[in-house]
Chain A
Amino acid sequence: MKTLAVRFQNVSKSYGPTRALIDLSLDVGAGSIHAILGENGAGKSTLIKILTGVLAPDTGSVEVFGERLEHAGPGGSGRHGIATVFQELSLVPHLSVEDNLFLSEPRRGLFGLIDIGKQRREARPWLDLVGLTDVRPGTHVSELPLAQKQLLEIAKALARRPRILLLDEATASLPGKDVDRLFDILRHAQVGGLSVLYISHRMSEIERIADRCSVLRNGQHIETFATKSRSYADVCRMLAGRDVSQIFPPRRPAKHDAPVLLRVDNLSAVDLVRNVSFTLRVGEVVGLGGLEGQGQKELLLALYGAIRPSGGTVEFAGSRFQPGSPAQALSGDRSLMLLPDDRKTDGLLLSDSIEDNMLLCVKRKLGRWGVRNAAAEDRIVAAAVDQLAIKIASPKAPVSSLSGGNQQKVLLARLTLNNPSLYILMDPTRGIDVGTKQEIYSLIRSLADQGAAVLFLTTDLEELIGMCDRVLVFYGGTVCRELLGSAITDVGILEASLNLKNDAKTSEAAA
């Protein structure tokens, strides 16, 4: 039998009454790339925290290459050769790239002082390896875009020369070409004997990279199998414990005669958005695709009044629209509202209650003379919880007590309660399990069917293909191509994203 890199034996862990892991046993073979799948709340994060030494299991033991893992804090797992790429990133914003890269083991020189020159030299190959070739090691991490931070987080883990690498949703904000590069690095390192634990929601990625795959559900180990030995439907059934027949809701034929809700004309802002023009009709779901950092986010923030445009006009519901702040954009009869991509820092007030988070934008409208209308609040919160099927113990509980998927639903409820005419959704399914994704997709579709319009930014190709009536592909700060109907395919979007065919501005498959 092959040697084992990690062996969990009868591990259990509870947080108060919640049982996160129940008598879990799981083996990870040395030198393999082993994927762990599970919905949010299935116990994946707890598994990682136990393996990184942040948490100690209540019962059971963890062995790493035959040695019992001591739970002596986050520094401890490093001694066993375990390095982790954390989903929420373990970078210090106001330190330089090189400092962050070697944060656990700084390169020292005279008198044990950190040798900046040496760090800078040694940083270069690691940065090049993950594709950060144009990043200077002296740059502060806070000045990097999210995708580059994620790459740096990967470089940081690799720089520790681990025997076991844990990747927790490491590709959540990476564009496709960086995912390809990461997979090349992993395969290469695998040959050198590295064992990889790969945690992801993206089934397509797991099929590409993993040798074996384990499914967790409700804190229990359901099954481990060779990756391609099970169909997608089988895996979904294991994950959800039920049949997930169709992920995306059925699409209606596009209405070309619906009234125009939003007309953007030559909009420019902060050097990242350049002369963007498009229209959006009532009832449409329009996707924004393209590589990360092509101005999509800034465009949406400019529409929302968070970024002041430097040129161009926006017409919304028939009149000139120039919000000075998000507060203006989301008030009024015909409003638009934005769902930020980072729900924890830009979306939720984490320590506030579920109901307060939902009611954040409508509280003032409900109450009178600044006095809260508790009865009405309770009523609409209960209705929203019901409508979105949010699993909560009490609306008074802090929103941080919810799983990621339910947190996202709370945030979506905040939008729907304000009843905007235009929904701007930035990566609404980031880091969310399949079941909740499906619910969010059908919610988006029903919002559009009820007469709203949706602008949908996502890094996931499948979502663009499955959800959107039209896709605007961004390149270099502007819409480089508009894809309609059956022209929305992987190849079509990728070609446009990389700006491969510049001649055809609009390509529509013959209907």
Chain B
Amino acid sequence: MKFRPRNLPLLLGTAVLATVVLIYLSVHPRGLSSFVVQSYANSAAPLAFAAIAQTFPVLTGGLDLSIGGIIALTNTLASELVHGSPLEVIAGIVIVLGVGAACGAFNGALITYGRIQPIIATLASGAIFSGLALFIRPFPGGDVSVELADAATGMIFAIFPVCVAAIAALLWLAGLLLNRTLTGKGIFAAGSAPNAATLSGLRIDRSIMAAYIMSGIFGALAGLFLGFQTLSGDATIGVPYTINSIAAVVIGGLSLRGGRGSLLSGVIGAFALRGIGAVLLFSGSPPLAQPLLEGMVLIVAVCAASITLVRQPNRLNVFS
């Protein structure tokens, strides 16, 4: 990647991640080992999926507050469907991802055709999805295919986490959609110049729909992966992911203003955020002070990412 000013937020996010990883490895009681890599990757993967899910709506200039709800719904659904014979497992996964896509399409329809502000639309729909999840599974439990779970949370040749490979592959596919199709161009345009795009004949409504559907699918992937980790379903498991997915994309350098940015932001931010949590835990800070410390570290990390503005001589560029 060539250095350009527009890549700076992403590079700063990467620097934050690198710092966190170094500290993580130095304070971790077991140092760098295959097991440490595996557990780090697996703990960050669901948030990484959730953050990628958040990236699409943010690029359109919106926000998805229903990601937690989608994760809860798909996680409980996975605990009902993803077990048994290989055929049943595959069918279960397809249904789970399909439900995620349907949740996203519902959000997209509320926003493009219902003309509801994204924050309100997804706040409401998120409550609906969480409610459905509770309906499916009032108490934690259920069953997820152990073989598949072991494979998904395992390592390739004992050195490379499967989940990271999966994230990389899915990121590549999503990148094709975003950068190589007109629908993807429209997602960027929706967040920066919807009128210009409409005058050029782009269908912005379709792009916004596509963004929320992608959000739903990646939310479902997060729900599914949480199922692989816990081997059960829990209707309350999604709650922290809504806000954390937003925090992750911001640490990764994505502008909440929309219209610009990269899918990598979410992944980088998710790994950094999980790393920060783990570092605080290993360094022996009191567990009750964790949210406080995490919040403070978050502010410092995000400020660090916008450090360039301090030297900006043109005041007109500070807030834009």
Contact = CB atoms under 8 A, between A and B. Distances in A.
Interface of A: 52, 54, 74-75, 78, 84, 86, 89-95, 99, 103-104, 106, 112-114, 116, 140, 142-143, 156, 269-270, 301, 305-308, 310, 325-326, 346
Interface of B: 5-6, 176, 179-182, 185, 188-189, 191-193, 195-203, 259-260, 313-316
A40 to B, nearest CB: 20
Contacts of B316: 301, 306-307, 346
Contacts of B201: 74-75, 78, 103-104
Contacts of A99: 185
B181 A113 contact: yes
A90 B196 contact: yes
A491 B313 CA distance: 36
A156 B202 CA distance: 14
Contact of A307 (B6, B199, B202, B313): B313
18 contacts: A54-B199, A74-B199, A75-B203, A84-B199, A90-B196, A91-B193, A92-B188, A92-B189, A94-B6, A94-B191, A103-B185, A103-B202, A106-B182, A113-B181, A269-B313, A270-B313, A306-B314, A346-B316
A84 B201 CA distance: 11
Contacts of B176: 113
A95 B189 contact: yes
Nearest to B176: A113
A254 B47 CA distance: 70
Nearest to B189: A92
Given A74-B200, A84-B199, A308 B313 contact: yes
A185 to B, nearest CB: 20
Nearest to B259: A94
Given A54-B199, A104-B201, A113-B180, 17 more contacts: A78-B201, A90-B193, A91-B193, A91-B196, A94-B6, A94-B191, A94-B259, A95-B188, A103-B197, A113-B181, A114-B180, A270-B314, A301-B316, A306-B315, A308-B315, A310-B313, A326-B315
Question: Do most interface residues of chain B lie in helix, strand or loop, or is the interface mixed?
Answer: helix
Nearest to A84: B199
A59 to B, nearest CB: 25
A270 B313 CA distance: 7
Given A92-B193, A114-B182, A301 B200 contact: no
Contact of A90 (B179, B185, B199, B259): B199
Contacts of B260: 93-94
Contacts of A142: 6
Nearest to A54: B199
Nearest to B313: A308
Interface centre among A78, A91, A92, A93 (most CB of B within 10 A): A92
A91 B198 CA distance: 10
Nearest to B191: A94
A89 B180 contact: no
Contacts of A86: 196, 199
Nearest to A346: B316
Given A92-B188, A94-B259, A140 B193 contact: no
B315 A325 contact: yes
A152 B6 CA distance: 20
Nearest to A310: B313
A95 B315 contact: no
Given A92-B192, A93-B192, A104 B313 contact: no
Nearest to B199: A90
A52 B196 CA distance: 13
B198 to A, nearest CB: 6
B6 A140 contact: yes
Contacts of A307: 313-316
B181 A114 contact: yes
Contacts of A52: 199
Interface centre among B176, B188, B201, B315 (most CB of A within 10 A): B201
B190 to A, nearest CB: 9
B27 to A, nearest CB: 39
B182 A94 contact: no
A74 B200 CA distance: 7
Contacts of A94: 6, 188, 191-192, 259-260
Contacts of A310: 313
B314 A301 contact: yes
Contacts of B181: 112-114
B313 A95 contact: no
Interface centre among B181, B195, B200, B313 (most CB of A within 10 A): B200
A92 B198 CA distance: 10
Contacts of A143: 5-6
A219 to B, nearest CB: 23
A95 B261 CA distance: 10
A112 B184 CA distance: 13
